[in-house]
Structure 1
């Protein structure tokens, strides 16, 4: 394992800036937190599992970075208000990565109202609460940048309609907030990852688990994304280099949402991946 994160961005890029990453205890959120810390940011990670958050914070500290954590549920409006107030009292929040979320596979006809509401709360309402409170309590006065997490819903999301509806809502919310908050020097963008070789893949069972190793054949680049490839896009959108970019949703899917079965992509050995994350672990389902 390499000694530290090998970022494509210049050292010290986020020196002196505080960036909040929700869902920072695992997967893409963990990777983003590591890259931001390696670039000098003071990182705040949050989630519901204290053990996971503490583990990531310890990793970042061992690597020479600065990381603190807060455990709460982003779906709880009063908890969000209180946690953001505490964090804002310590200084301006320069960046927010709205990464927390989750879903379960199901055809539309099998989704209950309770299940639908739970996924929308995870992937849309909670993110809305976080961005609203960070704006009201910090960025409205100090400026900043927000990156929201959506998903590859460009052609719908068969098998995960609840998540697709929530993610599409987040993409539209991103556009509206970008327009309304520009006067306060706040940029709001989103990323839409496709299939990523991340720890979340190991949470699925049954038919979905059996399908995961075959996903690469449906991607024109003939592989899955690494966590670092999503993280680098998020870091760019937070960076000064993206200072004239707001209201966009950046597709990160290796071209999977392009073309059709009528014109299949040419098979090949797979494009060269980028993986600067020195602590990345291949999901068990892909081993």
Structure 2
């Protein structure tokens, strides 16, 4: 049962000091940026990814910034490995916050996307989110406390040519956020999403390198620029903290206005 918050120092509502945060797909890109931001804010971050070497490199980079993290290498689409890893992490301490960030993409017209490629995108972006949330939420329910943040996308609600696999997977992420809220909110678990617009990462470099697509994006986005990865950190801190204790089933869009207007 919710016991209430103190408003004697409202800044403390955003305090994430000591919270154990598992971030999937945290070896680079958005996941790494969120790990850096939450770690700098005092959270105890656990980096996940499939590649142990990549995670070790990310851990070393964070250490250079004075941020100590743990790593847990496993594939979110491998249910057995996932269950084992979550149990091991929980044995060391509770997962207070889960950030489902692991994902991949394949661009192209439907006729050029193989069934295997489509399954790979859905397996990581949608099935992996489901499996990880299922494994972690069981423990959160026992404690009657927890937060799950699903990294969605502007393409959770907008379609775009060449993005049928990715947009389908991210629409699934947004709708699972809503359904998970209905199922778990009564156990004092807040399930929300963050929907980034266009941020420069390994997955979006091809767009940046395409002059026509770059011109379209600048015209289409009211802010007329790419988002900087650190601009996602505030949303993650808010949704990881007590400040969002009555925010549930919401997808917070961080896109420079891209999805709010008709654009050019």
- For structure 2, which runs of at least 5 residues remain unmatched after alignment? 1-10
Give the TM-score of the pair, scaled to structure 1.
Answer: 0.82
Equivalent position SS for 2:262 = coil
How big is the shift at 1:260?
A: 3.1
Report the RMSD for the aligned CA atoms in angstroms.
2.1
Q: Given that residues 13 and 241 in structure 2 are in contact (C-alpha distance below 8 angstroms), is that contact kept between their aligned partners in structure 1? A: no
Query: Which of 11, 20, 32 is the aligned partner of 2:22?
Result: 20
Are positions 1:120 and 2:122 aligned together? Answer: yes
Trace 1:28-177 onto structure 2 (pairs within 5 A). 28-136=30-138, 138-142=139-143, 143-153=145-155, 154-177=157-180
Aligned position for 2:195: 192
Could you tell me how far apart the structure 1 residues matched to 2:64 and 2:132 are? 28
Q: Given that residues 177 and 249 in structure 2 are in contact (C-alpha distance below 8 angstroms), is that contact kept between their aligned partners in structure 1? A: yes
Q: Given that residues 33 and 229 in structure 2 are in contact (C-alpha distance below 8 angstroms), is that contact kept between their aligned partners in structure 1? A: yes
Greater share of residues in helix: 2
Q: Following TM superposition, where does structure 1 have runs of at least 4 consecutive aligned residues deviating by more than 4 angstroms?
A: 9-12
Alpha-carbon displacement from aligned partner over 1:155-175 (angstroms, at most 9, x marks no partner): 213211111111111111111
Could you tell me how far apart the structure 2 residues matched to 1:194 and 1:150 are? 10
Could you tell me how far apart the structure 1 residues matched to 2:212 and 2:82 are? 37
Aligned pair count?
Answer: 251
Alpha-carbon displacement from aligned partner over 1:228-248 (angstroms, at most 9, x marks no partner): 112221221111111110101
Deviates more, 1:209-218 or 1:23-32: 209-218
Q: Given that residues 191 and 250 in structure 1 are in contact (C-alpha distance below 8 angstroms), is that contact kept between their aligned partners in structure 2? A: yes
